[in-house]
Amino acid sequence: MPTPPFRADHVGSLLRPAAITDARRRHASAEITAWDLKAIEDEAIPELIRMQEEVGLKAVTDGEARRSFWHYDFMGMLDGLDLEERDPEGGVQFAGVKLRPIFPTISGKLDFPADHPMLDHFRFVKDHTTVVPKISIPGPSCCHFRTAPEDIKVAAYLDDPQSLFDDLAATYRKAVHAFYDAGCRYLQMDDIFFAYLCDPKHRAAKAEAGQDPDWLIERYSWMMREAIKDRPEDMVIGMHMCRGNFRSTHAAEGAYDAAAEAIFSTGVDVFFMEYDTDRAGGLEPLGLLPKGKQRVLPGFITTKTGELEDMDWLKARFEEASKYCDIDQLGIAPQCGFASTEEGNAITPDDQRRKLDLVVRCAEEIWGGV
């Protein structure tokens, strides 16, 4: 079996098959049981895995098809963190649209439970693929960035933010080892808020809340470094960063400059970095990538529209990127998932497959293989 990192990869989420979308609707209205829903998911997910294998990818996921959100589901399954639905007008604002109003609430000491359901999600992929099974989970910064101070109900965390960061790092360290014990050798953590903290409006919002955005970037980097520093040598860690992805919209913009040094000091092996629009700024921050084995997969291919990028344009983008870092430390992936929430982006399953096929073909043309 091939081993990561790969030249061609993708972030993780895929458009939900119609059977799963319908089953989730029927489960929400109590027409079918949770076991019925799982049976339908178990039947549809192997088809998603086969699609990824057929286009030539060497690492595959379950498309996050058992989730509603890329992050909230995982977070709500942690000990000490609950998801509350309230205030219909209070969802996170994207460009022209809001997320459903879900509010993470820290109600007790944070920990990673031994029976976290996504361990079984990973095992299912491992049992149904002939290539490398990968799972993507939200990174430790998500639990802090997405939880409002008023929703932190633990006095110790409010009185000493570092105690919250300490417990988040410990929670994720435990998760890393639990996934390893489940057979995972390629774990991806989506820590998109490094990119958000490069956006002037998000930086201003954090400053108004009494949090120095540069201090947050440093603490978020520390948490990731602490979470993965003692991982087994044969475990590869990926990290995805973007500026929001909900129904083909975005929530942030700004170049990586303010966070690049902190990002590349995390000890992560593979960086999935959004680069499909001018919102991501220039490629100059790639010059801060240390020489060695770490790899960046610039997301020049967008998942927000179905239009295919031109191969010559992609090659030109990589030629430009190679001015800042060694081409041997680069690969290709789309800028984000195809369905960060169960609603999915405004593309078709055929568009999705053609995009993944383009990822593979691009890797073959530039590096001679995936």
> For 174-186, what is each residue's pLDDT tens digit?
999 999 999 999 9
pLDDT for position 152 = 95
What confidence category does residue 213 fall into, taking pLDDT thresholds of 50, 70 and 90?
Answer: very high
Structural domains of the chain in order of their starting residue, each with its CATH number: 18-367 (3.20.20.210)
pLDDT for position 94 = 42
Q: What would the pLDDT profile of 38-70 be if each residue is shown by its tens digit?
A: 999 999 999 999 999 999 999 999 999 999 998
- CA–CA separation, 161 vs 315, rounded Å? 45
What confidence category does residue 93 fall into, taking pLDDT thresholds of 50, 70 and 90?
Answer: very low
Residue 1 has pLDDT above 80, yes or no: no
Residue 304 has pLDDT above 60, yes or no: yes
How many helices (H) and strands (E) would you count in the chain? 13, 11
Mean local confidence (pLDDT), 292-312: 96
Residue 203 has pLDDT above 60, yes or no: yes
Q: What would the pLDDT profile of 216-263 be if each residue is shown by its tens digit?
A: 999 999 999 999 999 999 999 999 998 766 655 656 687 899 999 999
pLDDT for position 61 = 98
| Residue 196: both structure tokens together | 């958000």
For the chain, give the mean pLDDT.
92
Instruction: Say what percent of the chain tops pLDDT 90.
Output: 81
pLDDT for position 352 = 97
The answer for 244, left when phi > 0, alpha when psi is -120 to 50, beta otherwise, is left
Residue 277 has pLDDT above 80, yes or no: no
Residue 82 DSSP SS3: strand
- CA–CA separation, 135 vs 119, rounded Å? 9
C-alpha of 333 from chain center: 12
Residue 98 has pLDDT above 50, yes or no: no
Is residue 336 within 8 A of residue 303, CB to CB? The reply is yes
Residue 95 has pLDDT above 80, yes or no: no
Q: What would the pLDDT profile of 319-344 be if each residue is shown by its tens digit?
A: 999 999 999 999 999 999 999 889 87
What confidence category does residue 317 fall into, taking pLDDT thresholds of 50, 70 and 90?
Answer: very high
pLDDT for position 247 = 53
| Residue 57: both structure tokens together | 């990818």
Question: CB within 8 A of 270, min separation 6: which ones?
Answer: 4, 5, 9, 188, 236, 237, 238, 239, 294, 295, 296, 297, 331
- CA–CA separation, 166 vs 367, rounded Å? 41
**Cα angle: 166, vertex 84, 35; to 5 degrees:** 100
- CA–CA separation, 61 vs 83, rounded Å? 25
Long-range contacts of 197-202 (CB under 8 A, 24+ apart): 197/258, 197/259, 198/252, 198/254, 198/255, 198/256, 198/257, 198/258, 198/259, 198/281, 199/243, 199/252, 199/253, 199/254, 200/254, 201/252, 202/252
pLDDT for position 87 = 60
